[in-house]
Amino acid sequence: MAALPNISNIREMQAWSDHARREGKRIVLVPTMGFLHEGHLSLVRQGRQKGDRLVVSIFANPAQFAPTEDFDNYPRDLERDIRLLAEERVDLLFNPTAEEIYPAGYQTYVDVDQVSQPLCGAHRPGHFRGVATVVLKLFNIVRPHAAVFGLKDYQQLQVIRRMTEDLNVDVEIVACPTVREPDGLAMSSRNRYLTPVERDAALCLQSALGKAEALVVGGETAAQRIREAVVEEISRQPLARLEYADLRDPRELCPVEEVKGPTLLALCAWVGKARLIDNRILAGEGP
Ligand code: PAF
C-alpha cells in the first residue's frame, strides 16, 4: 500500500494547495477530528467524486469543547486513521498541532449568530463558535474548492453553510447522508462509549424518528404532537435521557409549529456516557 503524504505545517500546506491550483486541479477537503469510522470514510469517498486532489484534515479542535467537556479523552488513533486513509488513496493528510492552529496570542473567532443558538448550541455554549472558527481557518490553510460534511451533524452543516455564504467564502459545501449501522444506529465516534446493553438502548433515537415520520405520513401536522410522541418514545427507554427533541425550519433552524413542508426533526439523548444526536427531515427533502 502506498504511504500517505502528510503535512502538519500551515505554510507547507498552503504551498501544496497553491501548486495544485496552478496546475488547474480541483482540491476537495474532508475536515475531521480523527478516530475515523465508516461515516468519515463515506465523506472521503464522496470527496473523491468532487475533485482531483483529496485532502483530509485530522485536528481535534480544542476550541469546540467547553471546559466541562472531556477534550483530553476525545478518542484518538492516528496510526489506524492513516492506514484507513491510505487505503482510500487520499492524496494528503493535513494534521497540524494545536499550537500551529492557535499560537500564543490567538484571539480571533467566528460567531454565526442565529443558527448556532438552538439545539446543540443551547446545550454546548461556544461549540459552534469553535467549529466555525476552525473550519474557516482550515479553508484558509487548505484553500479547497469544495469541502464535505455529514448530515448527521445537521446544525454544524447549517452553521458552516451560513458562514461561507455570509463571509463570501468561495468553497462549495457538499452534504453527505448519515451512515448507519445495519440496525439503524447513526455511526459516531461516541458509540464506542456504549456498553452492549446501552448500544441496544441507543436504538430508541432511530425508533423515535421513525415514529415521528409515521405520524407525518399519517397526516399529523402539529409540531407539538409530533414532539410529544418523540419524547414519549425516548422516555420508554430507561437508559436514555433526552436532551432535546425539536422541530425546526431546515435552513434557518427557527421553530415551526405546523409541518407544512420539509421540517427538521433534531434529537439528542444521552445513553450512558454517550451523547448521541440524530435527525430526520420530515415531509420532504432538506435544503
Ligand atoms: O465534525 C467534525 O468532526 C468537526 O466538528 C469538524 C468539522 C472537523 C471541525 O472541527
pLDDT in tens, 213-244: 999 999 999 999 999 999 999 999 999 999 99
Three-class SS of 141-166: HHCCCEEEEEHHHHHHHHHHHHHHHH
> What confidence score (pLDDT) does residue 285 get?
82
CA neighbor of 135 nearest in space, from 214, 241, 29 = 29
Which residues line ligand 1 at a C-beta cut-off of 6 Å?
31-33, 61, 64, 131, 134-135, 153, 156
pLDDT at 1: 59
pLDDT higher than threshold 70 for residue 205 = yes
**pLDDT tops 90 at residue 74:** no
**What is the four-CA torsion angle of 274, 203, 279, 120, rounded to 10 degrees?**
-20
72 confidence band (pLDDT: 50, 70, 90): confident
* Span 190-199, average pLDDT: 94
DSSP β-ladder status, 146-150 and 172-176: parallel
pLDDT at site 153: 97
User: Which atom of ligand 1 is least distant from the CA of 61?
Assistant: 10
User: What does the pLDDT read at residue 283?
Assistant: 87
Amino acid (1-letter code) at residue 257: E
Q: Name which of 14-23, 63-72, 93-102, 143-152 the model is least confident about.
A: 63-72
Q: Is 19 a catalytic residue?
A: no
d(CA 284, CA 160): 22
Residue 264: what pLDDT? Answer: 98
What's the distance, CA 246 to chain centroid?
Answer: 18
pLDDT at 175 over 80: yes
Higher pLDDT pick, 1 / 256: 256
Q: What percentage of the chain exceeds 70 in pLDDT?
A: 99
Counting ligand 1 atoms within 8 A of each CB, the residue from 41, 135, 148, 176 with the most, and so the one to mutate, is 135
Q: How many whole angstroms separate alpha carbon 126 and alpha carbon 134? A: 12
pLDDT above 90: residue 28: yes
Kindly report the protein residue whose alpha carbon is nearest to atom 8 of ligand 1. Answer: 32
Residue from 19, 37, 40, 123 carrying the catalytic annotation = 40
pLDDT tens, position by position, 116-135: 999 999 999 999 999 999 99
Per-residue pLDDT, averaged over 251-279, amounts to 97
pLDDT at residue 2 tops 80: no
Q: Average pLDDT, stretch 203-207?
A: 97
For ligand 1, atom 1: residue with the closest CA: 32
Judge whether 35 and 118 are in contact, CB under 8 Å. Answer: no
User: DSSP label at 121?
Assistant: H
Contact 6, 93 (CB under 8 A): yes
Inter-residue contact 59 to 101 (CB < 8 Å): yes
Nearest CA to ligand 1 atom 2: 32
Average pLDDT of span 187-211 = 95
**Of 43, 33, 42, 38, whose CA–CA distance to 78 is shortest?**
33
DSSP state at residue 180: B
Predicted confidence (pLDDT) at residue 79 exceeds the cutoff of 90: yes
Residue 31's closest CA among 72, 59, 65? 59
**What pLDDT does residue 284 have?**
80
What integer is the mean pLDDT of 148-177?
A: 98
